[in-house]
Amino acid sequence: MEGTINPSPTAERHRSLACLDAGQSSPFSQQWVTITKEEHIDLTCRASYWEAQHARAKSELEKLRQEAVLKDAKIKDLQNRLFGKKSEKNNPLKSEKGKADTPSKRNRGQQPGSRGHGRTQRPDLPVVHEEIDLVDGEKYCSTCGLPYQPNPALDEHSEVIEVEVQAHIRHIHRPAYSRDPGCTCDNTPAIITAPPPPRVIPRSNYDVSVWVEVILGKYRYGQPSNRYLQDLRDQGLPISPGTLAGGLETLAPLFEPVLEALYCKQMSEELFHNDETRWEVFVELPGKIGTRWYLCPGR
């Protein structure tokens, strides 16, 4: 049944909330709407329902926002672990101060023109003493036949590092001989010694056996250089990676004749041997199903 309802305390409360200010009423505050009691109850229930739904939605959004923040933090941490800068010499104090590590523009390793650290002393390696002397015919003057006199004060000493079962230092003693005082022959040296042992790399104290082990381990047995350096370190002979890399670069020209002979031998064959590495050719041919095929050199 329709009729006009009197303003109740609830209606007065809603009307006061709709006002713009406590002392100022809205334009609709003096206008009345006539509805039934049933309609009023229905509207009140709907308002309460949607208020509850709004509060629940706000709670769900806040929960999802917290989860998104946590997931973003995990993603950022994983990206830093996978793609971030890695350094074994990371200084935690600089990170705490907020100092970002700027990438250096200089090349790695020893800089050209900088002072070197000198040859590494190896006092723990055992020393094997050897002596290289002149043959008997070279100890006499080739003109007058007088013998050279031994002069231990002028003996020459040199050291060469060898690697066999265990790394050791091969100490080579080369006695020196002075010319006899009665020898006045021209073009005769005053002091003679045996020539120093040949070296595969000039001015290097690593002998042939070291580089033979390096080349065999790297190119025959597939042993990484770092693993071979670790093996030498276990034998008491630590060698820096720069020394190994520089030695291999110096030895590379010695193998050019081998590469040329290998190339000539390969080009003289009728067939080229190749592995199963796929050299894909995406070309459609009549009668050819699919494109996952690869070139194979033939006759």
For 83: left if phi > 0, alpha if psi spans -120 to 50, otherwise beta; the answer is alpha
Residue 2 has pLDDT above 90, yes or no: no
Report how far apart, in Å, the C-alpha atoms of 117 and of each of 114, 120, 237, 250 are.
Answer: 10, 8, 17, 21
Residue 54 has pLDDT above 90, yes or no: yes
For 152-194, what is each residue's pLDDT tens digit?
888 988 888 887 656 778 888 999 999 888 888 888 888 889 9
Q: Is 71 helix (H, G, I), strand (E, B) or coil?
A: helix
Q: Which of 191, 211, 193 is nearest to 201 (CA)?
A: 211
Q: 């390096």: which residue's tokens?
A: 214
Tokens representing 281 are 């050719």
Output the pLDDT for position 59: 92
Which of the given ranges, 25-29, 271-275, 292-296, has the highest pLDDT on average? 25-29
Output the pLDDT for position 81: 78
Q: How confident is the model at residue 43 (pLDDT cuts 50, 70, 90)?
A: very high
For 234-269, what is each residue's pLDDT tens digit?
888 888 888 899 999 999 999 999 999 988 988 888
Measure the CA–CA gap between 112 and 198, rounded to whole angstroms: 28
Residue 6 has pLDDT above 50, yes or no: no
